[in-house]
Structure 1
Amino acid sequence: MISVSSISEFVYCPVKAFLNQTQKDNIQTREMIHGKLVREIRRGYEEITKQNMWSIKENIELEYIFSTIFEEVTPFIKKVSKKYSDKYEMDYSVLKDICNDLEDDLKLESQFLSLKVKKILNTTSKRGNEIAEMFFPQSLLEFPLKNEELNLRGKIDKIEVVNGVYYPVEVKTGMPPSKGVWLADALQIAAYVVLMDYELNKEVLVGFVDYIKICERRPVVVNSILHNKLFGVLDDMLTMFEKQEIPEFKLNKNKCEKCEYMDICEYYG
């Protein structure tokens, strides 16, 4: 079956999609491990922040709101960092730099979040648990979906449920375009919408991409144009996998040098 993550890879580079689909279980590049590390810390940060926010029971000073929200985040990052260091034998200095940068990012996000919480406390009678629900709606995390008829499967980062409406959310660690989302990211959202309709019987018109590097969420409207593009890409991918032949493509030095498969790609170099 085609993995939804391979759709994004195919748009980026057919070779990358081919390696992802056929050899992913046997490949653990440094970039792939870094991505897993960031995602795990991000998920844990959200859970910690949500729980800590519940303890805010009254209108308190901004500094105390921040210290409450950010409590336990640093020890958690160190714990996950050690786990990855032991499991993957990652270079300690590289790992330390990644985690330090990530901690700085999360600290800044917590400061922005504290300002929003303070504003809500000043203008409403909401308590911490109610505010937490505003920022962290009920969600299904890493939810598996598949459609045998389409030969399509995937594990979506998050499905948020707001007033009975389901919203697929993909988390991306790279930089977004100046406006909107990358086509590859939009196609992933469209693929999850198709799977959600099939498995959950939920009609979805809008999804979101969280570009965590700039702390911004961008919407994806899933219309007929995007659907047609998705099925065109799926047809091309099925042909590639069935024939075991990579379609013609042009090498792009800028893309290749950023690719996590650069060291094992027979086309590069």
Structure 2
Amino acid sequence: MAVSVSCISEFMFCPMKLYLTEFLGIRSPFNHEAMAIRDAYLDFRLAAESRARKLQPGTDPGEVEGLLMGDLERILNGLEGGVREKVMDTMKFQVRSAALRITGAMELMGAPGERVARRIFPPFIRDYTIHDPSLELYGRVNMEIIDGHHYPVKIKGVLPPAGGAWPSDSLELTAQALLVEREFETESLVSFIDYIPLAERRTVVTDYRRRECLFDVLDEIRKIIEDGEVPSVDVKPSRCEKCGLSDECLGEDQS
């Protein structure tokens, strides 16, 4: 049975949640807010690139920030009040960072926005679906294409860890890198995580150690979703309170 890339981070967060959703078929509450933040970020990226192409050197960063904020407001028009407010708050620093990057690059290069946009907004492929039967793995991948190389990108609407990346994110990106390698017959040794609230990008190297770890995790996932093996987990209140299946999980544990 082919495993979805999304199962990896779910397994790393809590194997029991994976068991409940993938083997027992219990639906996890959909996180509309997280999806709205992700979509807003991707739409804003396109809007910022389009805006940058129209600018000339010497444009004030504050003016650009105001224009970009207007673009973001238009993107968020259809969202409900509470969700819209949350997305706007999460994206604030992203808007400021984009304005500084665009104006800074124009000043440094002495070039109009048309040229700058090509440098700071490389081609981006959104939600590209890849299924590889030999790996028994499938998923949707966001990718930047730089100098002909494909770089998987994971988008996070939360703050990053103190350093590096969470293991769940690095393994999910490793799986995406493997799919990219098979799909495009190329090497994919570097991936990125974009943390929206701080407008920060971190690099994940998909080295041999991570690849070996990934296959071990995939074996454990298959034991759960194919064989119905019930995982043993340690209950951690700080983690469990974030899960929409905590009631079902406790019921399963008691049975």
How high is the TM-score relative to the length of structure 1?
Answer: 0.85
Higher RCO, 1 or 2 (CA under 8 Å, sep at least 6)?
2
Secondary structure of 1:235's aligned partner? helix
Residues 22 and 135 (structure 1), Cα distance of their counterparts in 2 relative to 1, 3 Å cut: farther
State which drifts further: 235-244 or 70-79. Answer: 70-79
Aligned-partner Cα distance in 1 for 2:45–2:18: 30
Q: Map 1:131-142; keep pairs closer than 5 Å.
A: 131-142=116-127
Task: Single out whichever of 218-227 and 169-178 deviates more from structure 2.
Answer: 169-178
Unmatched tracts of structure 1, length 5 or more: 83-95
Partner Cα separation in structure 1 for residue 143 and residue 70 of structure 2: 26
Find the counterpart in structure 1 of residue 15 from structure 2: 14
Q: How does 1:1-269 map to 2 (within 5 A)?
A: 1-22=2-23, 27=27, 29=29, 32-79=31-78, 81-82=79-80, 96-156=81-141, 158-265=142-249, 266-267=251-252
Q: 1:67 to 1:23 in 2, by over 3 A?
A: farther
In structure 2, distance between residues paired with 1:115 and 1:23: 49
| Cα displacement string for residues 124-181 of structure 1 (whole angstroms, at most 9, x for unaligned residues) | 222112222222210111111111122211112x111101111111112233221100
Q: 1:179 and 1:268 mapped to 2: Cα distance?
A: 34
Greater helix fraction, Structure 1 or Structure 2: 1
Shift of 1:23: 6.8
Number of residues of Structure 1 aligned to a counterpart in Structure 2: 252
Are the equivalent residues in 2 in contact too, given 1:173–1:212 (CA < 8 A)?
yes
Moved more, 197-206 or 14-23: 14-23
CA distance in 2, matches of 1:38, 1:233: 28
- Contact 1:176/1:211, CA 8 A, preserved across alignment: yes
Question: Identity of aligned pairs, percent?
Answer: 25
Q: Which moved more, 1:183-192 or 1:105-114?
A: 105-114
Tell me the distance in 1 between the aligned counterparts of 2:253 and 2:119: 47
Task: Please give the secondary structure, in 1, of the residue aligned with 2:215.
Answer: helix
Distance 1:123 1:237, change over 3 A: closer
Q: Is the 8 A contact 2:90 2:196 kept in 1?
A: no
**In structure 1, distance between residues paired with 2:83 and 2:32:** 11
- Counterpart CA distance in 2 for 1:160 and 1:212 is 16
So what's the TM-score if we normalise by structure 2? 0.90
The 1:163/1:224 distance shift into structure 2, 3 A limit, reads: same
Kept after mapping to 2: 8 A contact 1:2/1:21: no
| Structure 1 Cα separation of the partners of residues 105 and 244 of structure 2 | 43
How far did 1:224 drift? 1.0
CA distance in 1, matches of 2:205, 2:36: 30
Verify the 8 A CA contact 2:5 2:137 in the aligned structure 1: yes
SS at match of 2:85: helix
Q: Which runs of 5+ in 2 are unaligned?
A: none
Specify the code of the residue in structure 2 equivalent to 1:243.
Answer: D
